[in-house]
Amino acid sequence: MTRILDVVGLEGGYGTVQILYGVDLHVNEAEFVTIIGPNGCGKSTFLKVLFGLATHYGGSVFHAGEEVSGWRTDRLVERGISYVPQVDNVFPSLSVYENLQMGGIKLPTNVLNSRIDRAFDMFPGISQRKNDLAASLSGGERQMLAISRALISDPTFLLLDEPTAALSPIFQQQIISGIESLRDDGISILLVEQNARLSLARSDRGYIFVSGKIVHTGDAKEMLDNPKIGEYFLGFQE
Ligand SMILES: Nc1ncnc2c1ncn2[C@@H]1O[C@H](COP(=O)(O)OP(=O)(O)O)[C@@H](O)[C@H]1O
Ligand SMILES: [Mg+2]
C-alpha cells in the first residue's frame, strides 16, 4: 500500500519552543486518519509543521515517497497537499464566492469556475449564500466554506484542524459526512478532532497525542471499543 504521508521521528515547534518530540505517523492512500488528544498537546502544531507553517527541527516527512521535510507551503500545495486551519480560515470581509476565488488565484478561469461549482455541489448550503459576506455565515457554513476553499487547489491529501469544533450536532454530522465522501473519492485525510467519538466512528485509523508525543495508535473502531481509550475520551470530551 502506498503511503501518502510517512512521518518518522518528527521534532518541531515554534522558533526555539519545542512542542513535538519524535512523532511517528503515517497515512495510506485514500485513508481517513484522525488525531485526538487533550488541549495544548501539539495537534495543531503537528499539522502546521507538515504544511510548512511551524518549524521543523528534525526527523523526516515523506509525501508519496519523496522527502519533503521543511518544505515551504507553496511547494507542498503544488504537490497536492491542502490544509484547513482551526481558526481564521475564511476572509470575513469577502463574499463566499470571493473566498473560493482566493483558493485558486493562479488557476485559469474555466478551471477555477468548475472547481467552485464542484464545491457548491458538495455543500449546497453555501451555494445559496455565494454573494453574502463570509462574516454573515453561521459557524457550520463557515467551516464548509473553509473546506471548500481548501479543495479549490484539487488536493490529493487534505489536513483538517477541528472542523466540527463548537458546531451543532447536525452541522458536525454534515461536515464529517462531507469529509468521508472526500475519502471515498480517493482523497487522503488527516483530521485533528476534539469530537473523538464522532470522527473515530468514520475514520480508518486513529492516533492519540499527549504532550507532543503519540501514546496510542490503532484501528479506529478498536480504539472506540477499547475501555482504556475511553479514559482518554473522558478527559477531553464535552
Ligand atoms: N505560535 C506559537 N508560538 C509558541 N507556542 C505556541 C504557538 N502556538 C501554539 N503554541 C503552544 O504550543 C503548544 C501546543 O499547541 P497546539 O499545537 O495548538 O495544541 P492543540 O492543537 O493540541 O490544542 C501549546 O502549549 C501552545 O501554547
Ligand atoms: Mg489545536
Tell me if 39 CB under 6 Å of ligand 1. Answer: yes
Q: In angstroms, rounded to a whole number, what is the distance separating the alpha carbons of residues 81 and 101?
A: 18
What value does the mean pLDDT of the chain take? 93
Smallest CA separation from ligand 1 atom 27, residue: 40
**CATH T-level topology, domain 3-89+155-236:** Rossmann fold (3.40.50)
Return the pLDDT at 108: 95
The CA distances from residue 205 to 8, 17, 122, 232, in Å, are 17, 29, 24, 16
* Burial class of residue 105, CB neighbours in 10 A (0-12, 13-18, 19+): exposed
CB 12, CB 120: distance < 8 Å:
no
Ligand 1 pocket test: which of 19, 34, 48 has the largest number of ligand atoms within 8 Å of its C-beta? 19
Ligand 1, closest atom to CA 192?
21
pTM: 0.94
Residues of the chain with pLDDT > 90, as a percent, come to: 85
Tell me if 146 CB under 6 Å of ligand 1. Answer: no
Number of Cβ atoms within 10 Å of the Cβ of 174: 18
Q: Is the pLDDT of residue 173 over 50?
A: yes
Q: Is the pLDDT of residue 146 over 50?
A: yes
Return the pLDDT at 193: 94
Q: Is the pLDDT of residue 236 over 60?
A: no
Spacing, Cα 20 to ligand 1 middle (Å): 10
Tell me if 42 CB under 6 Å of ligand 1. Answer: yes
Query: Nearest ligand to the C-alpha of residue 45?
Result: 1
Q: What DSSP element (H or E) covers 67?
A: strand 66-67
Please report which residue ranges of the chain form alpha helices under DSSP H.
43-50, 73-78, 96-102, 109-122, 124-127, 139-151, 169-184, 196-200, 220-225, 227-236
Return the pLDDT at 230: 73
Tell me if 40 CB under 6 Å of ligand 1. Answer: yes
Return the pLDDT at 212: 97
Q: pLDDT tens digit string along 85-132?
A: 999 999 999 999 999 999 898 899 999 999 999 999 889 889 999 999
CB 44, CB 50: distance < 8 Å:
no
**Where are the chain's structural domains?**
3-89+155-236
Closest CA to 220 of 190, 199, 192, 194: 199
pLDDT-based confidence at residue 232 (cuts at 50, 70, 90): low
